[in-house]
């Protein structure tokens, strides 16, 4: 396994989890050990206190029976060996008379006073440490076994190191529990890091594939957390990039196709004029007319491409004015009168509706839609412009419908793409560039609206423009719908 793999996000997450878990276990274990240490000390001292009463009582009993101190000391040594404690006998002044440890005999020790005693049940037991060494001593009350005080003070002692280290008896169990907890935590950390890093790894691989030019990437989305949202955003981005790439490729192919034909015509006729193949004023005039027409078509194509590019990039600032939709529709009808030969054209706009926007570009939208409808309507057909409003949401709905044309369902989503044409043989190429509907969509979207297309073989084709409504009022009696049959 390479070092690069250990440097991955997954292993960094595992290492961070393990470090945090180990630190938490260490701190918890240290706190537990401190608490357990005090608890074990208290238990050990209580055990000594429980032993001190019967031992002191036996000494008191032997003393009342007149047993000499050496015999009492011998009995105490047997008890000390059996109980594994150290027994010290001192007189009332604190002089050590007997010590089963054979260290403090003849020494003076400080006996606990009344203030140093600690309440334990119904008796009084004094806990104190020797000043001569690291001993912890436990002595019962002086009045044990009768009302008259004993001549001897019996003290049980153990090394303080033994008390301090008593908690080590549980160390193996604590260590085993800590190891199990650490292993379980590591397994949980591995599972968590896999659930977090897996979509990130998938996104990384998909990004690398996109960098190689393969844009059709998608990763599964699970759940609703931030990782899932990131995965969803990545899929949307990949889809958008793929669409943009396909659009760009189509755009280049379409531009090349649209420019190839006029350039071929211009080159062919200009070469014929240079070679003398075209002779006479009439022939030269005809060739010049064709060259001029093709040049105009190219100029119109370039102009619309630049216009569309500027609208998409926001370089064209749309005006913010109150625009009368009915007036724009009537102006579009007047400008298209030359195209209405044999076609019935009608306008149904019962209300005066207004929107906020740029009157020039909105007028261009309806002019393009009307021009598109007229070009695809056969003689004897009908074109209808209808304006209406909706309350929720408050919108102006303009529908441009024409009979006699049909767009297949598979082509409807692409009618607003650049250069897309359902049937390239319907009209002469010089009369259209394939950019009109693309410009319509960009202008409508720039005004906060939307444009849709619907088509059926029975009823024809309808383009619907929806724009945010600014105002609506009743129409004047002299304003009546326009209906014309050409």
pLDDT digits (tens, 9 = 90+) for 264-282: 888 888 888 888 787 788 8
Q: Give the whole-number percent of the chain exceeding pLDDT 90.
A: 13
User: Is residue 20 located within the same domain as residue 165?
Assistant: yes
In a domain? residue 265? yes
Same domain, 163 and 270: no
The boundaries of the domain holding residue 368 are 321-485
For residue 92, being part of any structural domain is answered with yes
Residue 224 lies in a domain: no
CATH number (domain holding residue 303): 1.10.287.130
Note whether 441 and 425 are same-domain residues.
yes
- Rounded distance between C-alpha atoms, residue 76 and residue 81, angstroms: 9
Last residue of one domain, picked from the residues 170, 195, 217? 170
Domain boundary among the residues 313, 336, 362 is at 313
Judge whether 74 lies within some domain: yes
207, part of any domain: no
From 313, 344, 365, the end of a domain falls on 313
Residues 373 and 263 reside in one and the same domain: no
Residues 478 and 378 grouped into a single domain: yes
Distance in angstroms (rounded) separating the CA atoms of residues 450 and 471? 18
Q: What is the pLDDT of residue 452?
A: 93
CATH code, 360: 3.30.565.10
Residues 334 and 477 in one domain: yes
Q: Is residue 479 part of a domain?
A: yes
Q: pLDDT of the chain along its 486 residues, tens only?
A: 454 555 566 677 777 777 787 788 777 777 776 776 667 667 777 777 777 778 888 888 888 888 888 888 888 888 888 887 888 888 878 788 888 888 788 888 777 654 444 444 444 555 554 444 566 677 775 454 445 567 788 887 777 666 555 556 666 776 777 778 778 877 877 777 777 777 777 888 888 888 888 888 888 887 777 778 888 888 888 888 887 787 777 777 777 777 787 888 888 888 888 887 877 888 888 888 888 888 888 888 788 778 877 877 777 788 889 999 989 999 988 888 877 778 899 998 888 889 999 999 999 899 999 988 998 898 889 999 999 998 888 999 999 999 988 899 888 888 888 777 665 544 444 445 567 888 899 899 999 999 999 999 888 999 999 999 987 766 554 444 444 444
Given this model, what pLDDT does residue 56 score? 80
The reply to whether 242 falls in a domain is no
Per-residue pLDDT, 401:
95
Residues 299 and 332 in one domain: no
Tally of domains in the chain? 3
What are the pLDDT digits (tens) for 328-358?
A: 999 988 888 877 778 899 998 888 889 999 9
Q: What was the pLDDT predicted at 151?
A: 77
Residues 335 and 455 in one domain: yes
- Give the pLDDT of residue 128: 53
Confidence (pTM): 0.49
Residues 333, 257 share a domain: no
- What is the rounded CA–CA span in Å between residue 470 and residue 360? 17
222 part of a folded domain: no
- Residue 42 is part of a domain; what is its CATH number? 3.30.450
Judge if 349 and 431 occupy the same domain.
Answer: yes
11 & 73 share domain:
yes
Q: Tell whether 48 and 139 lie within a shared domain.
A: yes
What is the model's pLDDT at position 395?
A: 92
């Amino acid at each position: 396994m390479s070092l690069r793999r250990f440097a991955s996000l997954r292993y960094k997450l595992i290492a961070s989890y393990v470090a945090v878990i180990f630190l938490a276990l260490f701190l918890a274990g240290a706190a537990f050990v401190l608490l357990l240490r005090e608890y074990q000390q208290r238990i050990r001292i209580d055990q000594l206190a429980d032993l001190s009463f019967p031992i002191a009582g036996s000494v008191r009993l032997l003393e009342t029976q007149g047993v000499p101190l050496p015999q009492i000391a011998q009995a105490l040594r047997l008890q000390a060996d059996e109980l594994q404690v150290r027994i010290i006998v001192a007189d009332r002044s604190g002089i050590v008379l007997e010590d089963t440890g054979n260290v403090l005999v003849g020494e003076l020790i400080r006996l606990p006073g009344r203030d140093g005693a600690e309440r334990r049940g119904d008796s009084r037991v004094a806990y104190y440490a020797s000043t001569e060494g690291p001993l912890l001593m436990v002595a019962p009350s002086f009045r044990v076994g009768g009302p008259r005080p004993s001549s001897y003070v019996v003290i049980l002692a153990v090394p303080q190191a033994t008390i301090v280290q008593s908690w080590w008896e549980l160390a193996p169990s604590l260590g085993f529990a800590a190891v199990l907890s650490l292993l379980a935590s590591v397994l949980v950390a591995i599972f968590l890091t896999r659930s977090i890093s897996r979509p990130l790894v998938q996104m990384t691989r998909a990004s690398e594939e996109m960098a190689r030019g393969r844009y059709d990437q998608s990763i599964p989305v699970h759940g609703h957390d931030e990782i899932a949202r990131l995965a969803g955003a990545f899929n949307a981005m990949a889809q958008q990039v793929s669409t943009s790439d396909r659009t760009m490729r189509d755009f280049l192919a379409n531009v090349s196709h649209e420019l190839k034909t006029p350039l071929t015509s211009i080159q062919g006729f200009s070469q014929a004029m240079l070679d003398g193949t075209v002779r006479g004023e009439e022939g030269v005039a005809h060739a010049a007319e064709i060259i001029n027409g093709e040049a105009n078509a190219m100029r119109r194509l370039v102009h619309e491409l630049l216009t569309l590019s500027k609208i998409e990039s926001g370089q064209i600032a749309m005006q913010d004015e109150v625009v009368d939709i009915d007036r724009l529709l009537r102006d579009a009808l007047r400008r298209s009168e030359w195209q209405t030969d044999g076609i019935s054209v009608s306008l149904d706009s019962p209300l005066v509706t207004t929107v906020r926007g740029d009157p020039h570009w909105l007028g261009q939208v309806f002019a393009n839609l009307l021009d598109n409808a007229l070009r695809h309507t056969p003689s004897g057909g009908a074109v209808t412009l209808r304006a209406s409003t909706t309350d929720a949401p408050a919108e102006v709905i303009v529908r441009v419908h024409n009979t006699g044309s049909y767009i297949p369902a598979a082509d409807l989503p692409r009618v607003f793409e650049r250069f897309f044409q359902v049937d390239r043989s319907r009209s002469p190429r010089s009369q259209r560039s394939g950019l009109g509907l693309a410009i319509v969509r960009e202008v409508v979207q720039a005004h906060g609206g939307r444009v849709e297309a619907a088509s059926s073989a029975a009823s024809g084709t309808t383009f619907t423009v929806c724009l945010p409504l600014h105002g609506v009022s009743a129409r004047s009696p002299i304003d009546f719908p326009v209906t014309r049959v050409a």
